[in-house]
Chain A
Amino acid sequence: AQSVTQPDIHITVSEGASLELRCNYSYGATPYLFWYVQSPGQGLQLLLKYFSGDTLVQGIKGFEAEFKRSQSSFNLRKPSVHWSDAAEYFCASNTGFQKLVFGTGTRLLVSP
């Protein structure tokens, strides 16, 4: 069965510093991969997605993610974090068989 692992429950980053959130997936073939963001009290919003082609994917709000098949990873990055980026981030995968599987999420705290 497919699974998604986000090893970091919480991450604290200083405003202006770079950010990397880790995500590993478990599936034999390449799944469709997504990053969603959830602001407090809100639903989830798509940041970016990957399903084929260029392994570096650009998303909204200045985020990008890199797919690395050899490491089964899809890490999310941002070169300079803003206070408004404080939120919970979810990695998700879909093998195309109608079920989206989420990781447990990483809560990002931004310090001044």
Chain B
Amino acid sequence: NAGVTQTPKFQVLKTGQSMTLQCAQDMNHEYMSWYRQDPGMGLRLIHYSVGAGITDQGEVPNGYNVSRSTTEDFPLRLLSAAPSQTSVYFCASSYNQGRDTQYFGPGTRLTVL
């Protein structure tokens, strides 16, 4: 199993550009989520999905969109990038929520100029 994969590893955008961060998992997990990691702030939940066709907002959803058309994929879209979105983004998946272990991807480091 590849586990959770994320592309790209690094990305530089200009303010106002849009882009999609890709996330895929091959473990047949129902639950997937996106976090951003900023220095001194830990990981903060952006959006999550409990299954195909179902998404919901996390703690910091503004400026981001998600969709879940398949169990495997959970892309994160930045609609109009802003410097405040400079961060490291992690995708995670698990069988369910609650007590289940979340498996994390390697992350995408995004810089918005």
Q: Are B102 and A100 in contact (CB under 8 A)?
A: yes
Q: How far does the alpha carbon of A90 sit from the alpha carbon of B44 in the complex, in Å?
A: 12
Q: How far does the alpha carbon of A105 sit from the alpha carbon of B35 in the complex, in Å?
A: 14
Known: A42-B106, A43-B90, A43-B107. A98 touches B50 (CB 8 A): yes
> In chain B, residues 81-113, which have Cβ atoms closer than 8 Å to a Cβ of chain A?
90, 92, 97-99, 101-102, 104-107
Interface check A51, CB cutoff 8 A: yes
Known: A43-B90, A102-B42, A104-B41. A49 touches B58 (CB 8 A): no
Q: How far does the alpha carbon of A86 sit from the alpha carbon of B56 in the complex, in Å?
A: 35
Contact size class for A?
20 to 34
Q: How far does the alpha carbon of A104 sit from the alpha carbon of B44 in the complex, in Å?
A: 9
Chain A positions within 8 Å of B102 at CB level: 44, 46, 100
Q: How far does the alpha carbon of A102 sit from the alpha carbon of B92 in the complex, in Å?
A: 13
Q: Are B42 and A105 in contact (CB under 8 A)?
A: yes
Binary CB contact string for chain B from 41 to 82 against chain A (1 if under 8 A, 0 otherwise): 111110010100000101100000000000000000000000
